[in-house]
Chains A and B, each alone.
Chain A
Amino acid sequence: MRISQQPLVPSSTVPAAISAQGLRRTYGNVVAVDSLDLDVAEGEVYGFLGPNGAGKSTVVRMLCTLASMTAGSASVAGYDVAKQGDLVRLSIGVALQDAALDGKLTGRETLTLQGRYYGLDRDAAVTRIEELAPLLEMDAIDRRVSTYSGGMKRRLDLAAALMHNPEVLFLDEPTTGLDPISRAVVWEQVRSLNRDLGMTIFLTTQYLEEADALTHRVGILNHGLLVAEGAPDELKRTVGSDVVVARVAANPDLAAQAIGQVPGISHIEVYGNEVSAATGDGASVISPVAVALSAAGVEVTDLSIHPTTLDDVFLELTGARIEVEE
């Protein structure tokens, strides 16, 4: 049950749920985010993809009014982040990277209290907890959060972010550290929120498959700069439909030179002892690549072909791979 991969490109007919112009944040001399322009349409699932330290969380913290902007401007749900912080906070739900929960409260107390922060009375909180039951392990809802597993905490955190039916939901690395089953549950709920409730979702992730599976559009962030933006398929097409990867024992530059001579190869990237070559038709070029490497005297330890991934896009744009850290 995949969501549509059709991009929801913001236009004059679809109001922007999130908009930023020239967003910049520095910490001393360190520039965490620079010159970021962003438009996320209402009802869109937008993903920020990038390695740890790329600035993804900093952007989320600024848009959620948690961190101030050094420069630039932004609006969320139609409200100015810098000047109308109260209204922004009424309109958003946020689940940050680390599930920030009070271990001494039970799951139900956590949600009820979260509801109170958003002006929900007791009856409304009870109703919302029932509605959010699919996210929760109701058997454990009256247990203290300190007894929960990591996956249960993350789902409770997500449920807390949804207590007040936010217009815009921010998810900062929602599945980092989760087991595959919990990850699948979170994915399904994200899809459901967007598909069934039309919720705008802004998520950050370091998982390529997550960005691929969940988002309408992806922004690739590296060292605080937005280096590419578009629908995942659109971005992958810019690299090619297939990638031939040759791992060599030595001389990767010589290998790259040899592969570059093969007709049909469009881009070549060297990353350590790995040479990646983008092509429109992997099946037809893999044999010539093997021959070219052999003729050049390069010792090949592995030669493979795979469809283009967002990691290949990232490699093409930045010369580095996304190192996933759990």
Chain B
Amino acid sequence: MSETALSRPAGGEVIRARPSGFLGDMASVASRALRLLPRDLEAIIPAMLIPLFFLVVTIGAIQNLAGDVVSDIDYKAFQLPVAIMTAVTGMSRANSLVIDISEGYFDRLLMTPVNRYALLLGLMVADFTLFFVMAIPVIALGFAIGVSFGATGVVGLLVFVLFGALWGLAFTGFPYAIALRTGNPAAVNSSFLLFFPFMFLTTAWVSRDVMTDWLAAITWFNPMTYALEGMRSLFSGWDGWALGRALLAIGVVGLLAQTLAFRSLRGRIRRG
């Protein structure tokens, strides 16, 4: 370590802070989160493997029973949206945020000129990127077992993945809200419990018309049902009504979850 005192270059312009703008702030926060993703593989790899496991097991267990009764599309295709949703639901940087809060890094960020909302949106940008990455092995496995987007082609595939990523993005509001409100990693992990009613009180395994009445009734109120139906519609062709309902359902979940998240952010900033 040199003992030379700190100095500014003679005649050189002094480098000073300047506002980066909202997008610049968001990009800075996102770039850190993305840079850290490959250093956090122990959290990502299991989350990648679980949907693959369930996809294989569910198809293996039910496909022969399902026949043409469960749905009007191939059961493997029927299950692919479920696998995507399993991959992206609850997957977020909320655990990293809790670590940042407990270790003081979040305070460091709050003392920079970075826009407060960009602190959260930047993380979500990283999440959104991660969701596309998470979808890759699921889609690859889908292709490997014979799922085809013949009716809508590559664009259909992209829309399919986009819907999954949008659902994941909408859902991230819940773990972020819990992270910001509690600063407790265990509480953040418990947000995964929300996944169960969303995922299982819906048409995850069979279509509504073959369910018991009570479960079918519940699925009407579960936004996940419409997200899944919209994604499944892409295997049969372009169905604007199904896609529109899916977007609306995702929007409702997003509005609720993100409102909670940003209110929690404001609360944490206010509490100091």
Chain A contact residues, CB within 8 Å of chain B: 61-62, 64-68, 86, 89-92, 94, 96, 98, 100-102, 104-105, 109, 113-114, 116-120, 124, 127-128, 131-138, 160, 162, 164-166, 185, 188-189, 192-193, 196-197
Please tell me if the beta carbons of A165 and B16 are within 8 angstroms of each other in the complex: yes
Provide the residues of chain A in CB contact with B7, threshold 8 Å: 131, 192, 196-197
Task: State whether A120 and B15 are in contact (beta carbons under 8 Å apart), knowing that A68-B270, A104-B39, A105-B32 are contacts in the complex.
Answer: yes
A188 to chain B: which residues have CB within 8 Å? 3, 5
Report whether B6 and A137 are in contact in the complex, using a CB–CB cutoff of 8 Å. Answer: no
User: A residues within 8 A CB of B111?
Assistant: 64-66, 89, 92, 94
Q: Which residues of B contact A133 (CB under 8 A)?
A: 2, 4
Q: Identify B19's interface contact among A62, A68, A90, A100, CB under 8 A.
A: A90
Q: Please determine whether A136 and B1 come into contact, CB atoms closer than 8 angstroms.
A: yes
Instruction: Return A154 CB to nearest CB of chain B, in Å.
Output: 13
For the complex with contacts A131-B7, A164-B17, 6 further pairs of A-B residues with Cβ separation under 8 Å are A113-B31, A116-B24, A133-B4, A165-B14, A192-B7, A197-B8
Q: List 20 A-B contacts (CB under 8 A).
A: A61-B272, A65-B110, A66-B107, A66-B272, A68-B270, A68-B272, A89-B111, A94-B111, A100-B104, A102-B36, A102-B100, A104-B39, A105-B32, A109-B35, A117-B112, A132-B6, A162-B6, A164-B15, A165-B17, A196-B5
B11 at the interface (CB under 8 A from A): no
**Across chains A and B, which 10 residue pairs bring their CB atoms closest together, nearest first?**
A67-B272, A100-B104, A192-B5, A164-B17, A118-B17, A119-B18, A117-B112, A116-B28, A119-B20, A89-B113
The closest CB in chain B to the CB of A117 belongs to B112
Q: What residue in chain A is nearest B19 (Cβ atoms)?
A: A119
Q: Of B6, B105, B107, which is within 8 A of A192 by CB?
A: B6
Q: Does B103 contact A (CB under 8 A)?
A: yes
Nearest-CB distance from A189 to chain B (Å)? 6
Contact yes or no, A91 B35, CB < 8 A = no
Scoring A102, A105, A164 by chain B CB atoms within 10 A of each residue's CB, the highest score goes to A102
Residue in A61, A62, A105, A118 whose CB lies within 8 Å of B112: A118
- Tell me the complex Cα distance, A164–B19, Å: 11
A116 pairs with B15, CB closer than 8 A = no
Are A131 and B28 in contact, CB atoms less than 8 angstroms apart? no
CB-based contact B15/A104 at 8 Å = no
Output the least CB separation between B222 and chain A (Å). Answer: 37
Which one of B6, B20, B28, B40 lies within 8 Å of A197 (CB-CB)?
B6
> In the docked arrangement, what's the CA distance between A117 and B115, Å?
10
- Residues in A with CB closer than 8 Å to B270 are 68
Contact status of A96 and B107, CB under 8 A, knowing A61-B272, A119-B20, A164-B15: yes
Beyond A86-B19, A117-B114, whether A105 also contacts B1 by CB under 8 A is no
Q: Closest chain A residue to B16 by CB distance?
A: A165
> In the complex, what residues of A have CB within 8 A of residue B18's CB?
90, 118-119
Interchain nearest-CB distance for B32 vs A (Å): 6
**Is there an interface contact between A86 and B1, defined as CB atoms closer than 8 Å?**
no
Task: List residues of chain A with CB within 8 A of the CB of B4.
Answer: 133-134
Shortest beta-carbon distance, A130 to chain B, in Å? 9
